[in-house]
Amino acid sequence: MTPDICGSVTVPDAGQPRLCPLQAALAARPGVESYDDFCRVALSLFRFIGAAYSTGASDCWEAAYRFADEAPDIADSPLLVARAAALVRILRSGRPCELCFMPPSCRRLSKDEAELMRLLTVARRNQPGELESIVGQFVGSGKEDAATRAVNALALC
């Protein structure tokens, strides 16, 4: 197999270029641009909060509050940050592994971020029952009710 400049690999038998598995996975996920302003703000807050948990740096919390303060159409920015943090905290405690967050300026989404955006989008559509089934797939047992309440609270902020 010979790699080309675009990051694909030519398979000798088929002669067709094939994306590497990482590129294929990233290409399958929506980018930040595919979400509305509220979801993009929430995503940035998740990323700042995730960085705060990962690094222990208080600057990340300050950045989250500052970002929310400067975001347009946010009536109560401290409440928005608190609700985003509550959701992250619930999800961190109900999963066997850490959540994966990209840096705040990244245009791509990690698998966990894509799931968070899916949860938030479904909650904002306000379809009874739909959110509960998706939450159950994302969090560990025993945390579904708390996660559902947290997602709904964030969606209504």
Q: DSSP string of 78-137?
A: HHHHHHHHHHHHHHHHTSSS------TT-SS--HHHHHHHHHHHHHHHT-TTHHHHHHHH
144 in the same domain as 127: yes
145 in the same domain as 86: yes
48 in the same domain as 25: no
The alpha carbon dihedral of 124, 51, 72, 80 has a sign of positive
Give the per-residue pLDDT at 51. Answer: 95
- In the chain, the number of structural domains is 2
Task: Show the domain range for 81.
Answer: 31-155
101 in the same domain as 24: no
Give the per-residue pLDDT at 24. Answer: 56
59 in the same domain as 94: yes
144 in the same domain as 80: yes
Give the per-residue pLDDT at 67. Answer: 96
Furthest CA-CA distance within the chain: 59
| In the block, residue with structure tokens 């959701």 | 87
37 in the same domain as 20: no
130 in the same domain as 120: yes
Give the per-residue pLDDT at 7. Answer: 40
Give the per-residue pLDDT at 54. Answer: 92
50 in the same domain as 121: yes
14 in the same domain as 39: no
Neighbours of 136 (CB within 10 A): 14
Q: What are phi and psi of 97, to 5 degrees?
A: -130, 165
8 in the same domain as 35: no
Parts of the chain with a pLDDT under 70: 1-30, 128
Task: Using a cut of 0.85, tell me whether the model's pTM lies above it.
Answer: no
Give the per-residue pLDDT at 50. Answer: 95
1 in the same domain as 21: yes
Q: What is d(CA 62, CA 155) in angstroms, rounded to the nearest whole number?
A: 22
Give CA 110 to chain center in angstroms. Answer: 7
SS3 141: coil
Give the per-residue pLDDT at 5. Answer: 36
CA triple 142-144-146, angle to 5 deg: 95
Give the per-residue pLDDT at 31. Answer: 75
